[in-house]
Structure 1
Amino acid sequence: MRIHTLHREQVLDGTPAEVFPFFADARNLEAITPPLLRFRVLTPDPPMAAGTFLQYRLRVHGLPVSWDTLIQEWEPDRRFVDVQVRGPYALWHHTHEFAPEGDGRTRMRDTVRYAIGFGPLGELARRLVVRRDLDEIFDFRARRVPELLRAARGA
């Protein structure tokens, strides 16, 4: 199984203490996921902490997908890690990090380690479809997160 890594960074207005609560609300995942995926959090009002189990439903290229994750690490205002327990990937390990950038801003880093499975066929799917899909999802998030943070702060 070949493991791949996706890295993304962006600087957001607000300190880590101001930015982190947005990500501590699992319902915001719906707002930062492209509408085409029809992403829905099924777990009712999950309190985010290490050990929290979350269930989602989404559509990938029109196909319904169930996705269950576990919050493996939880350090408010600093970082958290979610891992797939059940879902479309052979491995999904997503680390979210928040660091002060100065001037009341935060550098947010996403590091996703993932694997497709299915041997050479899975690697072909990653090259042709999955890599592009992940780039589009994270590009969408990079646009939406600052907009939603501004709206939440009343700016």
Structure 2
Amino acid sequence: MLTFEKSTLIDAPVERVWEFHERADILSLLTPPWQPVKVLRREGGLGVGAITEFEIQLGLIEMKWLARHTDCVPYEYFVDRQIEGPCQSWVHRHQFTPEGNQTRLTDTIRLELFGGEIAEFLLGSFVIDRLEDMFTYRHQVTQRYCPLPIN
């Protein structure tokens, strides 16, 4: 099993960062432009049972990625699990921790690749590097959108 974690201190209170993640267009905003990902649907917001469906291009292969939110405590965290997609398993926890007037945004992903330990040995560092690229972008976008304007 591979584990990835990215944590950033966002210059905004936890309520603002959470509400940013509730936006209807959030997946389009947080998807890096270089990724071959198309958002097909998003239903249910951040709560338990919410569904997100993507179409992704992996080389010459096009596949569907379906995730369901399985746990949620508003303004603290939500968890999505892959139901169908490119990984054997995928669990993504989005954590929102207040630190004064700021928010510690932490994304933790635990995943297993098809092919088990051999695939993880051969492809694990590549996958982790791609996740680092994607979540660096996502956290930068969150940092850009969330701070309150200075009056």
Class of the TM-score when normalised by the shorter of the 2 chains: 0.7 to 0.9
Q: Which amino acid aligns with 1:136?
A: D
- TM norm structure 1: 0.84
Match of 1:92 in 2: 90
Match of 2:66 in 1: 68
Q: Which amino acid aligns with 1:7?
A: E
Match of 1:118 in 2: 115
More strand by share: 2
**Higher relative contact order, chain-length normalized (CA < 8 Å, sep 6+):** 2
Gap runs ≥5 in structure 2: none
Identity of aligned residues (%): 26
Q: How does 1:26-41 map to 2 (within 5 A)?
A: 27-41=25-39
Gap runs ≥5 in structure 1: none
Number of aligned residue pairs:
148
Q: Would the alpha carbon gap of residues 137 and 62 (structure 1) be closer, same or farther in structure 2, given more than 3 Å must change?
A: farther
Q: Any runs of at least 4 consecutive aligned residues in structure 1 with deviations exceeding 3 A, and if so which?
A: 60-63
Residue aligned with 2:41, SS: coil
CA displacement, residues 74-108 of structure 1 (integer Å, 9 cap, x when unaligned): 21111000000000011110001111100x11111
- TM norm structure 2: 0.86
Displacement of 1:24 after TM fit?
Answer: 2.2
Match of 1:83 in 2: 81
* Maintained 8 Å contact 1:98/1:109: yes
**Residue 107 of structure 2 corresponds to residue 107 of structure 1:** no
Displacement of 1:42 after TM fit?
Answer: 1.3
